[in-house]
Amino acid sequence: MKFIISPAKSLDFETALPTTQYSEPVFLDQSKTINTTLAKKKPSDLGALMHISDKLSQLNWQRNQDFSLPFTPANARPAIYTFSGDVYQGIDVFSMNQKEVNALQNQLHILSGLYGILKPLDLIQAYRLEMGTSLAIGTHNSLYGFWKNTLTAHLNEQMEASEILVNLASNEYFSALNSKELNMQVMSPVFKDWKNDKLKIISFYAKKARGLMVRYAIQNNIQDLEGILGFNLEGYAYSPDETKDPMTPVFVR
């Protein structure tokens, strides 16, 4: 069983690392190609492209100029300790022991507009590039076109047909894969909360729940669908009544 999640816009390059372990992204050549295109754009171009403020445009222009290979611990940082959004707060990797981090490295994949797909300990440099950004790369009109065949083939190579891929990524990022060409079963959990007497997907809570599910699976060595249905962190529980498709289980609280 393996898991995929989205990256985060918020990055942490300050907190001390609890490990010296790291690995390198498998698609750095492609990342360099994308950055070459990004680095040619002025701050104002980035602002229009990404719909961000002048301050963020200037910050990310500088990041694009600073992109430099090879990646080393001196100029880059492991992804799982760098992304710090809601999903990553749910995972809470800083509180995991070495055995659990090793399991994360083997079972978790992070989709990325710039890096394609990352293992948790893969080094990354600071960037901002959402998968849905309308950026033409070479003959491809979008990042989806640039990455789709490559990432789908990579996952098929990395996983056995008998394995299950637990999709905890957003629709924006999961769309970077050709789901019809994936060789394995894909489970896509849904997380809902009661609000105003109705069950709703509340973005903040759903994102954190995705990370919590990764944490639960790693810490409990979950390897099958039944184990996933036992997810119960922070008040969530599997709801057979709300679940219409067994591969899209609904968890409520």
CA Rg, the chain, in Å? 18
| pLDDT value for 140 | 96
DSSP letter string, 187-218 = E--EEEEEETTEEE--HHHHHHHHHHHHHHHH
Q: How many CA atoms lie within 13 A of 47 on its CB side?
A: 10
Tell me 137's DSSP state. B
| pLDDT value for 170 | 97
Q: What mean pLDDT is predicted for residues 127-153?
A: 97
What is the pLDDT of the chain when averaged over all its residues? Answer: 97
Can you tell me whether residue 172 is helix, strand or coil? helix
| pLDDT value for 181 | 96
State the pLDDT confidence band at 107, using cuts at 50, 70 and 90. very high
Sign, Cα dihedral of 89, 91, 93, 97: positive
| pLDDT value for 246 | 95
Q: How many CA atoms lie within 13 A of 202 on its CB side?
A: 12
Cis, bond preceding 70 (omega within 30 deg of 0): yes
Residues 181, 144, 169: CA angle, nearest 5 degrees: 75
User: In whole angstroms, what is the distance from residue 153 CA to residue 177 CA?
Assistant: 9
For residues 8 and 210, the answer to whether their CB atoms sit within 8 Å is no
State the pLDDT confidence band at 229, using cuts at 50, 70 and 90. very high
DSSP letter string, 83-105 = B-SHHHHHH-GGG--HHHHHHHH
Residue linked to tokens 């809470």:
92
Q: What is the pLDDT of residues 33-64, one digit of tens each?
A: 999 999 999 999 999 999 999 999 999 999 99
User: In whole angstroms, what is the distance from residue 121 CA to residue 118 CA?
Assistant: 8
Q: What mean pLDDT is predicted for residues 107-131?
A: 98
Q: What mean pLDDT is predicted for residues 95-114?
A: 98
Q: Which helix (H) or strand (E) holds 56?
A: helix 54-66
Residue linked to tokens 């301050």:
55
User: In whole angstroms, what is the distance from residue 144 CA to residue 129 CA?
Assistant: 12
Q: Kind of pairing, strands 190-195 and 250-252?
A: parallel
Tokens of residue 208, six digits: 């954190």
| pLDDT value for 146 | 98
State the pLDDT confidence band at 105, using cuts at 50, 70 and 90. very high
| pLDDT value for 61 | 98
| pLDDT value for 31 | 98
| pLDDT value for 235 | 97
State the pLDDT confidence band at 211, using cuts at 50, 70 and 90. very high
State the pLDDT confidence band at 32, using cuts at 50, 70 and 90. very high
The residue type at 126: A
State the pLDDT confidence band at 213, using cuts at 50, 70 and 90. very high
| pLDDT value for 236 | 98
| pLDDT value for 244 | 97
Q: What is the pLDDT of residues 148-188, one digit of tens each?
A: 999 999 999 999 989 999 999 999 999 999 999 999 999 99
For residues 219 and 100, the answer to whether their CB atoms sit within 8 Å is yes
What are the distances in angstroms from CA 55 to CA 11, 37, 51, 58, 60? 16, 21, 12, 5, 9
